[in-house]
Amino acid sequence: MKVSSWWVSLAWLGLLAIFTWSSMVQGCGPGPGYGFRHRSRKLTPMPYKTYFPKLSENNLGASGRSEGKITRNSERFNELVCNYNPDIIFKDEEKTLADRFMTKRCKDCLNKLAIAVMNHWPGTRLRVTEAWDEDGHHPPDSLHYEGRAVDITTSDRVLDKYGMLAQLAVEAGFDFVYYESKHHVHCSVKADHSVAVEKGGCFPAWARVSVAGGGQKTLASLEPGDRVLALSESGHVVLSRVLLLLHQDHESRSTFLVLTTQDGHRLALTPHHLVFLAPHYKLHHSEYQARFASRAKRGDYVLVHGADGRLQPSRIVSVSQEEGVGVYAPLTEHGTLFVDGVLASSYALLEDHRLAHWAFGPLRLLLSVIQLVWGEGTQGAQVTEAEREHTETPPSHCNTHQKSLRVWGNQNLSSPGVYVNTNTSDRQSHWTSVPRNRDIEGGNCDAVPDKVLRVHWYARLLHRLGQICLDPETFHP
């Protein structure tokens, strides 16, 4: 019977490997992503004075609200990166290289658009007339002050091309595109910390989970192999093994929703993460639905792990916002976990917990096979005094199995394409046309590092497939 089960597991693993590698091989479209190509369709120029989406720029469904000006002396200046792409012409009329400063998401979308422009009009390049503004030339709530907006044209400045340029900007992933002037197209993006596509849904670094033995760990110190309190499908509170961290970023700034309950529990999580809610007092766990945290409101009920160890409802008395540094998203065997005593899902972005748990089934199987090959080790299998000592401080080491999961889980995969620039590791060898060591009035363009997004490749792959196969209404707006 064990032999048969072993071969079934190997068969599933083989199918997963074939599916994963085939999807990666097909990912030859332009841009930083990978996976299946978007369905080809005929592009039509955007009419003058129209914008996409049909929302105001500061609406949460577009680029979102302004978060305040970024100056060279502010701490948030370190969040900006420099764009040295030789396929983009930067006007830089201020002669300070300010137009090259932008957020990571804005840079990614701009580089993708530069590729699309060259493919659509051979011999033509993208031109940026305005990006980050430090001189106060825009309205007070302008996203230019945060490096989240750009004004663009084509290098040949042919006005008839700007309608199509705007449509190409939409396809490149800008969150708001406005053909606002006959002389340029305005584009902007969401704040890096609120981008659901790249960042996923997460909890803050200071959030705590209960581990085997009755101790607690912060999410910043949580490791694959740890066992945390979770809820099984049958409604029992169980210890569930942490398989990996779907998202782990020690430095990212995020805005969290804080749900405070009548008995003092406080759950902080990103708006697009799933939490189990009920509109009225319900005793049975099956009556609580996984909803986006952004839908939670005063008077709703959540499930908490009571002092007596039992599952019990608790009413939400306030919903507030709180900013913090560090974001983490543990994936457990059961797909649930208690964070600061409140039951939440391991999943985000898609408002269907069961579908998300099913979709991660192949990954759980693969990790089980890896565990079978490497061996689980002692950590997580039994509670020791050493484990209790590590519940308050980040561990300085891990066993071989955990190391393999961490390295394997954070690989940065990319795929070939037409006119694709490598804009990270080999930037200096390819983008030497711009001075590299020039200090700019208190800020050095080269001193602003690119951020490494630590989102698991499987989560990004599922999101790409979901965008192709599922109704867009099922995703967080």
pTM over the 0.75 mark: no
Q: For position 438, what pLDDT does the model report?
A: 34
Identify the weakest region by mean pLDDT among 26-35, 141-150, 217-226.
26-35
Q: What is the pLDDT of residues 359-381, one digit of tens each?
A: 888 888 888 788 777 765 434 43
**CA–CA gap between residue 58 and residue 191 (Å, rounded):** 11
Distances (CA, A) of 277 to 201, 269, 379: 17, 14, 33
384 is in an annotated binding site: no
130 is in an annotated binding site: yes
**CA–CA gap between residue 241 and residue 229 (Å, rounded):** 9
186 is in an annotated binding site: yes
The domains of the chain, with CATH numbers, are: 51-194+413-451 (3.30.1380.10), 207-397 (2.170.16.10)
287 is in an annotated binding site: no
Confidence of residue 129 (pLDDT cuts 50, 70, 90): very high
DSSP 350: B
Peptide bond into 139 cis (omega under 30): no
446 is in an annotated binding site: no
129 is in an annotated binding site: yes
Q: What is the pLDDT of residues 407-450, one digit of tens each?
A: 333 333 333 333 333 333 333 333 333 333 333 334 444 444 44
94 is in an annotated binding site: yes
233 is in an annotated binding site: no
DSSP 37: P
DSSP 455: B
Cβ–Cβ contacts within 10 Å for residue 208, how many? 21
Decide if pLDDT at 199 tops 70. Answer: no
The two three-digit tokens of residue 300, written as one number = 């709703």
Reported as half-sphere exposure (CB side, CA atoms, 13 A), residue 137 has a value of: 9
Confidence of residue 193 (pLDDT cuts 50, 70, 90): low
